[in-house]
Amino acid sequence: MTKSVLVGISGGVDSAVAAAILKEGGYRVEGLYIQNGFPGGNEADAENVADRLGFPLHRLDIRSSFRENIVDYFVSDYLAGRTPNPCIVCNKKIKFRYLLEEAQKRGLGCIATGHYARVEGTDGKDGFRLLKGIDKGKDQSYFLFQLGQEELQHLIFPNGDKTKEEIKEMASGLNLLSGMESQEICFIPDDNYRDFLENYPVTLPRPGNIVDEKGNVAGRHRGIHSVTIGQRKGLNISSERPYYVLEIDTKRNEVIVGREEDQLAQGLIATNCSWISPGSVSRDALRAKTHIRYRHRGVDSEITFLPDNRVRVIFKTPQKAVAPGQAAVFYQGDCLTGGGWIERRLRDA
């Protein structure tokens, strides 16, 4: 019986090569292009990929769901003084959800994307594990921490055991290098989130004071949506030493700033946690390396379970710019154990 797979096709090089690898591996490949209602995608490139590789390309218009689950979440988090990560939420609520639904509807056995990550079966009660891609500079497992066994049992990442350079070489050999590279946030083509927020049909926070930790006024902000934790540039504060954003107080409409050393946190509280293989996670203290944002090198940590699906994370060494709204993702070696959303930093352990 021929193996079959539905591949998420964006029009970019990574998803194109993922489809090519699967075709060469004997899979019956079909593609899915998701239309989200924003101009960041490239349907023409996706069609070109499907034509060159010779597989059918299906289209799915999910613009209403995308706006509700991703864009509205993104906007509301910024307005609440948090720093959102829409790609993580999109992977769970949009990309893999609709890939699975469409694959099942069309009788296809697996789903695949061009992410640099790996899935490994454990041949035991813990099901499937999610691993980093072997190209550590390109690894995208951080964005997948909310996936679980429902997705992993059907999921293939053909690019996970290859480097970006190898993928580019394969694309060149297949004449697929004309495809676009992925943008940081697909619905903000110029990556200017402040302009996006200020042109979105929503009431923006009003301007307010920038204060130090003693309450002394150091400057003015144009709205809490315009700053992020750890920000240094653009604060317009005259000082011999630079200030950094430490906290955002939504009740007082204030931005609290401090010096570089004031950013250090001993740990964090994370909420809405999820675990790749729940049966493998002990409810005792968990030792893992915590990544508090994409590209963070990770820090050795002790994780303690709290009520209401929350955890306390204590770092072995203090960390800067722990931002509420970002994801704290836990690894043991190359294995992604789980993660949660940062609720607040802990100044003291």
pLDDT tens-place string over residues 107-122: 999 999 999 999 998 7
Give catalytic status of residue 90 as yes or no: yes
pTM of model > 0.85: yes
**Residue 184 confidence (pLDDT):** 73
User: What is residue 182's DSSP assignment?
Assistant: P
pLDDT tens-place string over residues 155-175: 999 999 999 999 999 999 988
Q: Which two tokens stand for residue 150?
A: 């429902």
Q: Which residue has the higher pLDDT, 179 or 309?
A: 309
Are 4-114+158-173 and 206-262 equal in CATH topology?
no
Catalytic residue among 87, 90, 110, 273: 90
Span 263-346 CATH architecture: Beta Barrel (2.40)
Q: How far apart are CA 168 and CA 135, in angstroms?
A: 13
Domain 4-114+158-173 has CATH 3.40.50.150: no
φ, ψ dihedrals at 123, nearest 5°: 55, 35
Q: How far apart are CA 15 and CA 174, in angstroms?
A: 13
pLDDT at 178 over 60: no
**Residue 250 confidence (pLDDT):** 96
Catalytic residue among 87, 110, 186, 335: 186
Residue whose C-alpha is closest to residue 288's, from 339, 336, 316, 330: 330
Give catalytic status of residue 335 as yes or no: no
pLDDT at 95 over 70: yes
**Residue 174 confidence (pLDDT):** 87
Determine what percent of the chain is predicted with pLDDT higher than 90: 87
Q: How confident is the model at residue 143 (pLDDT cuts 50, 70, 90)?
A: very high
pLDDT tens-place string over residues 231-281: 999 999 999 999 999 999 999 999 999 999 999 999 999 999 999 988 767
Q: Which two tokens stand for residue 151?
A: 């997705």
Helix (H) or strand (E) holding 100: helix 96-105
**The CATH number of the domain covering residues in 206-262:** 2.30.30.280
pLDDT tens-place string over residues 30-71: 999 999 998 766 899 999 999 999 999 999 999 999 999 999
CB count within 10 Å of CB 122 equals 11
Side-by-side strand order, sheet with 155-156: 57-61, 28-35, 4-8, 110-112, 155-156
**Residue 229 confidence (pLDDT):** 97
SS3 content of the chain, % helix, strand, coil (to 5): 25, 30, 40
**Residue 301 confidence (pLDDT):** 98
Q: What is the mean pLDDT of the chain?
A: 94
Parse the chain into domains and list their residue ranges: 4-114+158-173, 206-262, 263-346
pLDDT tens-place string over residues 199-222: 999 999 999 999 999 999 999 999
Q: How far apart are CA 254 and CA 302, in angstroms?
A: 32
**Residue 277 confidence (pLDDT):** 86
Q: How confident is the model at residue 180 (pLDDT cuts 50, 70, 90)?
A: low
**Residue 283 confidence (pLDDT):** 75
